[in-house]
Amino acid sequence: MVIRSLIASLFLLLPNQIFACEGTDEMDALFSDDAEASPAFISFDPPPMSAPFRLELIICDASLGDVNVDALMPLHQHGMNYEPVVSRVGEGRFNVSGMVFHMPGLWKIEVIARRQDADLRYWLDVEL
Amino acid sequence: MKIWLALLFVLVPFSSSAQVLLTDDEIAQVLSYGPWPPTPSDDPSNRVSGNPAAIALGEKLFFDPILSADGTMACASCHNPSNGFGDGLPRGEGRVQLDRNTPTLWNLVAHRWFGWAGDTDNLWAQSITPILNPAEMAHDADGLKGALSASEHVQAYQSLFGDIDAHSPEDALINVGKALAAFQETLVTGKTPFDLFVDALAKGDVETASAFSQSAQRGLKVFFGEGRCAFCHVGPALTSGEFNDVAVPYFLSPTEVDSGRFGGLKALLQSPYTLDGDYSDDPERSEAWAVRSVRQLHSDFGTFRVPSLRNVALTAPYMHDGSLPDLRSVVIHYSTIDMERLHADGESILSPFALTTGEVDDLVAFLESLTELKRD
C-alpha cells in the first residue's frame, strides 16, 4: 500500500505532456514563437485552388481547451472567406475541414490552442 | 551580284520564328488553367439536372415570356444568346433600369455563387430570382403556377414533376427553377486558342504551343506578372468564384450605394432556397458547406463576384455596373488603378502598373484568345 502510494505520487509530479506524441513522416512541424510551446504537427494534401480541403493537426499537450485554426495571406492582408471547422478526434489530435485558399500565393496557417495558463500559438507558411 | 545579295539581306525582313515565350514557372502556372471543358456532372441538389427532358423544358421556358407577370419578358429578353447571353447594355433593363450589368450565362456550372453579389448558392435559386423580382419579371408563385398550368408546357412539366395541381405554388416555382437550371447547365463554352496552347504545353508539344499568338503570349506574361490578374482569375474557368474590390465605384446615386457581397450575403442567409434548405434534393447536402461556413466580413462591402474570362471578348460592357465599354478600357482601368478608390479594409492586391500601348494590345490579345473556337 505504501509502495503503491509512492508510485502514484511520482505520476502526479510528472509534467502534463505525458502521452506519447509525435508527428508522422507525412506531417510538417508547426512553428511557434513561444520557446515553451509543445511540439505540434500538421498534414494536408496539396490545397486545391478555391476549393475546400482538410488538414490533420497534432498538438503534444494534454491540457488543451478549444483549438482555432485560420489562415491569411500576409502580403495581401486578407484571410479566408470561410470558417473552418475543428473537430477533436483524440488527445491532442484534431481534424480541420472547410479550409479554402481562394488565391494563389503565400498563405500563413495559424493555430491557437487555448490552455488555462496561456494560449499556444503556432503557424506554418504554405505557398499555393 | 554581291550588291544584290546585300540588298536582299537588308530589305527582306527576317521572319520572326514563333516560339513559346513563357518561363518554366509560367508554364507550370498556365497548366493550372486546364483542362477545359470540365467533365459534366449533375447537380445533386437538382433532381432533374442532366435530364434531357428537363433540359428541353428549361430551354423552352427560357424563351417564353409566360415567366413574367404581364407576359412581355422572358429570360432571353436580357440574356440574349446572340449577345453573349447578356444584353450589351451597361445596366440591365427590366421594368426599370437595374443596378447592375446583365451577366452572361456561359459556364455557370463552374460557379459556387451566382449573381454579382452571390445572393444565391445554386443555379435553380438564381433562376427564380429575376422571376420574382418586381423590377424584372415581377411574377409570384401563384401567378406562375397558373400561367404554367394553362400553357403548352404543362404536359412536359407533369412528365417530369408530377401532377401540377397537387403542387403548391412554391413547389411549382422551384420546379420551374430546376428545369431552367438544367438547361443553363448545358451552356458550356468550347475550346479556345488558349486551351489549345495549354493542351499542347501539357503534352510537351512545343511546336503546336508555339503557334499560339506571340502577342497573346506576351499578354499572358503580363496577366501572370505585373497585371496581377492571376490572383483572382484562376483555374480553368478563370475565376476564383469569390468577391473583390477592383476600384469600381459602388455609388448608384449621390445617396445610394450598392453594397455588393455584403448585401448579397444578407439575402443568401435569409433565403429558404439555399443548398442547405428544404428544397435541395441532395440528402447529403454535400455542397452546403459554403453557405454554412461563409464569413460575413465588413470588407465584403462593395465587393463583387470575380467573373469568368471565358468568352470575355463577347460580353461587353464590363464590370458590375457596365461602366467600361471594351476590353481595352478594362486593361487601362487596372493599369492606372486609383488606389484611393480601393476600399476593402487594408486589402493590398492591386496596384497600378502603367502598361505601354503595346503591352495593352498584348493583354487584350490574350483576353481575346479566351473566345471559344467556332463549333462545326
Phi, psi dihedral angles at B253 (to 5 degrees): -155, 175
Task: Give the residue-averaged pLDDT of A67-85.
Answer: 95
Query: pLDDT-based confidence at A88, cuts 50/70/90?
Result: very high
H or E element that contains A96: strand A93-100
Residue B12: what pLDDT?
46
In total, the C-beta contacts within 8 angstroms joining chain A to chain B are 55
Nearest Cα neighbor of B128 from B75, B83, B57 is B75
Residues B115 and B152 sit within 8 Å (Cβ to Cβ):
no
Nearest Cα neighbor of B366 from B209, B201, B217 is B217
> Tell me: the pLDDT tens digits for A91-127?
999 999 999 999 999 999 999 999 888 889 999 999 9
Which residues on neighbouring strands pair with residue B343, listed in sequence order?
none
Q: How far is it, in rounded angstroms, from Cα B299 to Cα B282? A: 32
Q: How far is it, in rounded angstroms, from Cα B21 to Cα B139? A: 54
Instruction: Tell me whether residues A84 and B293 touch, CB distance under 8 A.
Output: yes
Which residue in the block uniquely carries the three cell numbers 463552374? B110
Contacting residues of A for B289, CB less than 8 Å apart: 52, 82, 97-98
Is pLDDT at A17 greater than 70 in this prediction? no
For residues B195-225, b (16+ Cβ closer than 10 Å) or e, as one string?
bbbbbbbeeeeeeebbebbbbbbbbbbbbbe
Nearest to A105 among B231, B293, B294 (CB): B231
Instruction: Tell me whether residues A83 and B293 touch, CB distance under 8 A.
Output: yes
Residue A3: what pLDDT?
54
Nearest to A77 among B294, B295, B346 (CB): B346
3-state secondary structure chain B: CHHHHHHHHHHCCCCCCCCCCCCHHHHHHHHCCCCCCCCCCCCCCCCCCCCHHHHHHHHHHHCCHHHCCCCCCCHHHHCEHHHCCECCCCCCECCCECCCCCCCCCCHHHCCCECCCCCECCHHHHHHHHHHCCCCCCCCHHHHHHHHHCCCCHHHHHHHHCCHHHCCHHHHHHHHHHHHHHHHCCCCCCCCHHHHHHHHHHHCCHHHHHCCCHHHHHHHHHHHCCCCHHHCCCCCCCCCCCEECCCCCCEEECCEECCEHHHHHHHHHHCCCCCCCCCCCCCCCCCCHHHHHECCCHHHECEEECCCCCCHHHCCCECCCCCECCHHHHHHHHHCCCHHHCCCCCCCCCCCCCCCHHHHHHHHHHHHCCCCCCCC
Nearest-by-CA chain B residue for A75: B348
Beta-carbon contacts of residue A115 (< 8 Å; ≥ 6 apart): A61, A63, A64, A65
Nearest to B231 among A52, A98, A103 (CB): A103
Is pLDDT at A82 greater than 70 in this prediction? yes
Determine how many CB atoms are found less than 10 A away from the CB of residue B292. Answer: 14
Q: Cell numbers at residue B7, please?
A: 540588298
Q: How far is it, in rounded angstroms, from Cα B321 to Cα B2? A: 64
Contacting residues of B for A81, CB less than 8 Å apart: 242-243, 294-295, 297
Nearest to A102 among B240, B344, B346 (CB): B240
Quick one: how far is CA B109 from the chain centroid? 10
Nearest-by-CA chain A residue for B299: A78
Q: Cell numbers at residue B289, please?
A: 458547406
Q: Cell numbers at residue A116, please?
A: 488555462
Name the DSSP letter for residue A35: T
- Long-range residue pairs from B168-173, CB within 8 A, at least 24 positions apart, any chain: B168/B141, B169/B140, B169/B141, B169/B142, B169/B144, B169/B145, B170/B141, B172/B141, B172/B144, B172/B145, B172/B148, B173/B128, B173/B131, B173/B132, B173/B141, B173/B144, B173/B145
Determine how many CB atoms are found less than 10 A away from the CB of residue B301. Answer: 18
Residues B84 and B216 sit within 8 Å (Cβ to Cβ):
no
For residues B324-362, b (16+ Cβ closer than 10 Å) or e, as one string?
beebeebbbbbbebeeeebebeebebbeeeebeeebbbb
Instruction: Tell me whether residues A103 and B234 touch, CB distance under 8 A.
Output: yes
Instruction: Tell me whether residues A49 and B232 touch, CB distance under 8 A.
Output: no
Distance (Å) from the alpha carbon of A79 to chain B's nearest alpha carbon: 10
Examine the predicted complex and report whether its ipTM is higher than 0.85.
yes
Digitized pLDDT (tens) for each residue of chain B, 376 residues in all: 656 555 544 444 444 578 999 999 999 999 999 999 999 999 999 999 999 999 999 999 999 999 999 999 999 999 999 999 999 999 999 999 999 999 999 999 989 999 999 999 999 999 999 999 999 999 999 999 999 999 999 999 999 999 999 999 999 999 999 999 999 999 999 999 999 999 999 999 999 999 999 999 999 999 999 999 999 999 999 999 999 999 998 899 889 999 999 999 999 999 999 999 999 999 999 999 999 999 999 999 999 999 999 999 999 999 999 999 999 999 999 999 888 777 655 556 788 888 999 999 999 999 999 999 986 6
